[in-house]
Structure 1
Amino acid sequence: MADWTSPEELSKDKSAYVNIVFAFFGLYVWEVFQTSDFEWSVIQRRRKIRWHWLFLFICRYCIIFSLATLMASFTLKRPIHCQAMYTFTALAGNLSILCASTTLMFRTIALWHRKLTIFLPLAFLCLAQWALLWRGMFIFDVQYDATSTACVVVSMKRLFLSINFWATMAFNLVLTIVHILGLMQRDHGASFWQILFEDGLIFYLVAFSCNALPAVLSVLNLNPVMNLIATVPAAVLTVMAACRTVTRLSEIGDDDDLYVHSVTQLTTPPRAMPPNTVRLQTLRNGSRFTPRPEVHVTTDHIVMEDYDPSPASGYTPHDKPRELTDDKESESDKEKAYNAV
């Protein structure tokens, strides 16, 4: 069995931690470029900006600043204020995780038609998570190590770190269960794979499951590096999953609710808003969904009576057409005309 506290093991774990941070930073930058058409559609005003997108953009870009600062701490050439650097890293990282869970919460509330019985409990759990993770931004004691020319975590409140991981995982699990129940009550005949991928349930499962590994490692307490080695993958995957629930939505009109997937709009008829609901936005026409596209075909029935008779013709609509004469009569007419000439 490996000695997790030996200098050799700590050196290997630190090297692996650095590689993981750089790898997931590259993965997330690639993800942002892959979904950059969302921002471009907002700039081109193809999408109307919603107030709850504030949490989306915070979690989408704060994680970049957090990882960039963390990578900078690995390549120091001179002493700096490591405590301030790690405080900013924890602040941006936890803020991205909080806003990711909040984005998932808004998606679930919209699926339940903003019922107060769903909104109030989820809002309470969300505020509790914000309180815990906000306190978790200031649990590290970091100093500059002249020997390794890097910032070293001297101490941290491991118990509080573990509580943060388990609280985040529990809240995401609650959101996943409530979202599944909301999808089941629609009863639109979708298969399991359609619910999993088309309705975005896979993103809730990713946001929940990816926090399990850092939560378990924080309980095992193998060494200080292993306690943090899975935090970056968990944060990146959670943010990617939460952002995908919004960026993958169709570009729809200003009067629509972007937090309801396009599949839901086509398969579920519009329903009246229950009396005990809270609105996230005000719609102009009072409807929840954009009306389904309809094709109206108009045909014109044209009859001969609709036309006026020509003044040069003695024919009227009520006259019978002239009967054709036989061939002999027509030939005699031709001969008379020839002789006249």
Structure 2
Amino acid sequence: MVNFRDPAVEAADGFILLKFWHVVDGIFIWEFITTLDFEWSIIRGRRRCRWTIWVYSLSRVAALAAVVANLVLLNLNTPVDCQLSAILEMLPAYMALAAASFLLVLRIVAIWRGNMVAVVIAAIVWAINSAFLIQGVSRLRYASEAPGAPCEPVNIQATKVTMIVAFVTDILLLVIMLVGLFRLDCHRHGTLATGRFLWNQGVIWLLLATVAGVLPTVFVCLNLNESLSVIFHIPWLITMAIAATRMYRGLDDFLSSDINCSSHGTPHNGGRRMSVSGTWAPAVPIPLDGTGVDVRSTHDHSLMSQAIRHSLGSDSDRKLHDQPHELA
């Protein structure tokens, strides 16, 4: 059996961690740069600027700051204050995770149409998540074995509870969201493209959060050695930040591509073509992720449409008009 505390094994694991983190950091930087056109389109006024863009931007910028700090620490050969460096790296990392979770809370509030029980539970879960993330930053200690040597965590087990709580709370938030969508039958009604789109996003998000969260949680609990205990921390951060922001952009793109419908057009909706009878009235902008949700229903699914209207809410000065259409 491998002795993971053997100095030679620890050195090999440290080398693997160094290369692995460089790869995942590079993936996030590539993702950040290649998706800047979304922010640019908002600056140029081609997209509607909603207040939730600040939450979206916080998740992206904080994750970028954490990645840059991580790369600097991995490649710095001069003596530094390891504790200060750790705070500069972990604080934005946990801020990015908290912002990503908050984007999920916004979806929950919209899907449950402000249902007090669901909103309070989601708020409490998110607050617990944020509190333990803050505690994780305050309890983590870094040090170097020799002057000029890389900074390494010396009490990674102190963050074990933080990792477990962050993982569990993210899963709970996703379950609350999926339960809300399940209550609306969004997983079955093919003609309600927005509901189906949200359901698919939720399932994908749940799978990503589970896979990304299980690995760092398991390895920090196993405590094989310092390198293996933290090897999946950065990938977890990057996965959650990319998933949250990509799904925010995906929903915005989905709604933007389906917002204008002419009386005799054949718009694309959820990847399917539809034939339209009559004129579609503009749908109510729902504050889901602050992007607004364009919900349309058929006469065959009038009960489903009513459930979505009541569950997702509507603006005070506009009404949702159901117009008949059928799948081509």
Q: Judge same fold: TM > 0.5, yes or no.
A: yes
Identity of aligned residues (%): 21
Give 1:129's aligned amino acid.
Answer: N
After superposition, the C-alpha distances for 1:205-227 in whole angstroms (9 at most, x for unaligned) are 21233111111111111111111
Task: Please state if 1:65 is matched with 2:79.
Answer: no
Determine which structure has the larger helix proportion and give its number.
2
What SS does the corresponding residue of 2:143 show, helix, strand or coil? strand
Larger radius of gyration: 1
The residue aligned with 1:120 is 120
1:259-278 deviations in whole A, cap 9, x for unaligned?
A: 2788862346366557xx9x
Q: Cα distance, 1:147 vs. partner?
A: 6.0
**SS of match in other structure, 1:269:** helix
Partner of 1:225: 227
5+ residue gaps, structure 2, are 191-195, 260-281, 298-303
How many residues in Structure 1 have an aligned counterpart in Structure 2?
A: 285
Contact 1:183 1:195 in 2 (8 A): no
1:38-59 superposed Cα distances (whole Å, 9 cap, x missing partner): 2123112233333333222111
My pick for the range that moved more, 227-236 or 262-271, is 262-271
Q: Which residue of structure 1 aligns with residue 25 of structure 2?
A: 25
Paired residues of 1:203 and 1:244 also in contact (CA < 8 A): no
For residues 254 and 184 of structure 1, the distance between their equivalents in structure 2, rounded to whole angstroms, comes to 22
Q: CA deviation at 1:136?
A: 0.5
User: 1:48, 1:254 within 8 Å by CA — same for their partners in 2?
Assistant: no
Distance of 1:265 and 1:121 partners within structure 2: 26
In the TM superposition, 1:3-152 aligns within 5 A as 3-146=3-146, 149-152=149-152
User: In the TM superposition, what is the alpha-carbon distance from 1:23 to its structure 2 partner?
Assistant: 0.9
Where structure 1 has 5 or more consecutive residues not aligned to the other structure, the ranges are: 296-341
CA drift of 1:165 comes to 1.3
Q: Post-superposition shift, 1:164?
A: 1.1
Give RMSD over aligned pairs: 3.1
Tell me the distance in 2 between the aligned counterparts of 1:284 and 1:46. 26
Instruction: Report the equivalent of 1:316.
Output: none
Find the aligned partners of 1:40 and 1:284 in 2 and give their Cα distance: 31
Please give the per-residue CA displacement for 1:123-162, whole angstroms capped at 9, x wherever unaligned: 0111111111101012232234446632233x2151x411
- The 3-state SS of whatever aligns with 1:48 is coil
Aligned partners of 1:247 and 1:197: how far apart in 2? 16
Distance 1:141 1:198 in 2: 40
- State how far apart, in whole Å, the 2-side matches of 1:40 and 1:63 are: 19
Query: In 2 relative to 1, CA 75–139 (structure 1 residues): closer, same or farther, beyond 3 Å?
Result: same
Q: 1:265-293, CA deviations, whole angstroms, 9 ceiling, x for partnerless residues? A: 2346366557xx9x8xx946255x6x678
CA contact (8 A) 1:109 1:115 kept: yes
Q: Which moved more, 1:222-231 or 1:140-149?
A: 140-149
Output the TM-score relative to the length of structure 2.
0.76
Please give the residue correspondences for 1:221-300 in structure 2 after superposition, counting only pairs within 5 Å.
221-249=223-251, 250-251=255-256, 256-257=285-286, 259=288, 265-267=295-297, 269=305, 273=310, 283=315, 285-287=317-319
- Listed one character per residue, the Cα deviations across residues 44-84 of structure 1 (whole Å, up to 9, x for unaligned) are 22333333332221111111111111111122232122211
